[in-house]
Amino acid sequence: MNNNIKLEETFTWSSLKRKNINISKELFSERNGKQVFLISSEVAALDIIFSYYRECGYLKDKNAEIWVPERIGFRFYNTLQKKCFPSIVQSDVTKGIIVYHHYGYPQNMDKIISKARDNNWFIIEDCAHALMSYYNGKRVGFLGDVGIFDFSTFFPSLMGGAIVTDNNEMGEYIKDKLENDKTWGKNFFFIIKLFYEKSRNQNVKLFWRKWGEMSYNIYDSNYCLNPIVELIVKQKLFEKALGIRSENKDFFLNELSHYNIFNKINDHESVTPYVIPLIAEENQQKNILRQLSIIGVETSINHFDVNRDMINPNFVKCVCIPVHGGINQEYREKIVEAVIKGINCKS
């Protein structure tokens, strides 16, 4: 394999054929009366939801505070900022909470829901990394007032997302927004992302990256799902990409089970993760990172809340191990080998 392995699967045109698959049914079969809406991106989902909260008067103005987790991405933050005031601290005027199931591993929802209900906050579950995760047997994203999902983190679709809610009034609002969305952005952004992904020359890539950064500022104002994105998601569902992801996860957990690097998490089996956070000594993490980079795995040291509790978080450093469907058997073994080398390396 010549191409580098990224945390997400790379987009390809190959075998992109129309598949007779209903995305909503396939991905959200256990909807239990909740409404599902497919949408152009996760930030567009956020924009619609907060537009609704503003228009129905629940959020009075843009100073209405929403409690967000630490280390929230700035694109996510920027979208929120247009409608309310996202804050990493809670206050007397907090009106809602955004729960982020980092890498797909669920937060302590019992505790969070209880606190939110006590304070009369609405709960939005950010399931960008949790397309198919379960918390105490219940589907993540279905536990709060609204769940928002991102397809591009799980499939090489570049864009795409979904909203799940049981609020009928909000459902009508979203339907109306989708029906009246006549903006050109969904195609424009897709093209920019595609050019960025496909650029080989570093300078050209930088140019498109800049356009990508810029486009994020108005990314949220385009709601409908791009038809090519829809095709890719269907294709990947047909190929059982989520199953492959779970297989890859199980492979790494089994092969590396002796090294105590995944044991801070005890519910691996109920999660189809975005990546697996590998937690080890800091120098071991650096060595692992080096070894992975030698075999072409593009990853980095990030932070993971081992408490899984945004009320009382405990962020520790971790190396993200990719598990997406683009990783074949040969590469899985190479990754395991590199991780073991990194752990055993003395320097």
Partner 1 sequence: MIYEVEIPRTLDLMQSVFYKSSPIKFPGFFLSTSTGRSALFLVLNYLKTTGIIKDKNTTILVPKWLCISLLHLARKHCSPILSTDHSPKMVLVYHQYGFPQDMDEIMDCCDRKNITIIEDCAHAYEGYYKGKRLGTFGSASIFSFSKIFPSIWGGGLATQNEDLYDFAQKEQDRNHLGWFSLFFHLTKYKSDKKRAKNRSVWNNLRDMSYGSVESAQKINTLSLKIISNNFDKKVLDQRRKNYLFLLDYFKNTDFFSSLEREGIYPYVVPLITSEKRLHRISEALLKRNINTGVYHFDINRNIFNPVFEKCLWVPIHQGLSIKKMSKICDTISSAS
Measured from the CB atom, the residue of 91 and 347 that comes closer to partner 1 is 91
Distance CA 248, CA 133 (A): 15
Residue 82 touching partner 1 (CB under 8 A): yes
Q: Which stretch binds partner 1 (CB under 8 A): 27-35, 58-66, 133-141, 279-287?
A: 58-66
Considering only residues 200 through 229, tell me which ones interact with partner 1, judged by CB under 8 A: 207, 210, 213-218
Distance CA 105, CA 129 (A): 8
Question: Rounded to the nearest whole angstrom, what is the least distance from the CB of residue 274 to partner 1 in the complex?
Answer: 20
- Phi, psi for residue 161 in degrees, rounded to 5: -165, -175
Distance CA 8, CA 19 (A): 22
CA dihedral of 347, 289, 101, 231, whole degrees rounded to 10: -170
Question: Rounded to the nearest whole angstrom, what is the least distance from the CB of residue 67 to partner 1 in the complex?
Answer: 10
Angle at 160 between CA 127 and CA 184, to 5 degrees: 140
Residue 19 touching partner 1 (CB under 8 A): no
DSSP string, 194-239: HHHHH--SHHHHHHHHHHHHHHTTTGGG--SPPHHHHHHHHHHHHT
Measured from the CB atom, the residue of 99 and 276 that comes closer to partner 1 is 99
Residue 65 touching partner 1 (CB under 8 A): yes
Nearest to 325 by CA among 237, 220, 230, 218: 237
Measured from the CB atom, the residue of 259 and 315 that comes closer to partner 1 is 315
Measured from the CB atom, the residue of 113 and 301 that comes closer to partner 1 is 301
CA dihedral of 97, 76, 181, 218, whole degrees rounded to 10: 140
Measured from the CB atom, the residue of 58 and 207 that comes closer to partner 1 is 207
Amino acid at 270: S
Measured from the CB atom, the residue of 78 and 293 that comes closer to partner 1 is 78
Question: Rounded to the nearest whole angstrom, what is the least distance from the CB of residue 115 to partner 1 in the complex?
Answer: 17
Residue 70 touching partner 1 (CB under 8 A): yes
Considering only residues 280 through 309, tell me which ones interact with partner 1, judged by CB under 8 A: none
Q: Pick from 58, 77, 195, 259: which binds partner 1 (CB under 8 A)? A: 77
Burial track 31-46 (b if 16+ CB lie within 10 A, e otherwise): eeebbbbbbbbbbbbb
Residue 251 touching partner 1 (CB under 8 A): no
Using an 8 Å Cβ cutoff, are 76 and 49 in contact?
Answer: no
Question: Rounded to the nearest whole angstrom, what is the least distance from the CB of residue 249 to partner 1 in the complex?
Answer: 28
Question: Rounded to the nearest whole angstrom, what is the least distance from the CB of residue 55 to partner 1 in the complex?
Answer: 18
Q: Six-digit token pair at 172? A: 């009508």
Binding site for partner 1 (CB under 8 A): 62-63, 65, 70-71, 74, 77-78, 81-82, 85, 87-89, 91-93, 207, 210, 213-218
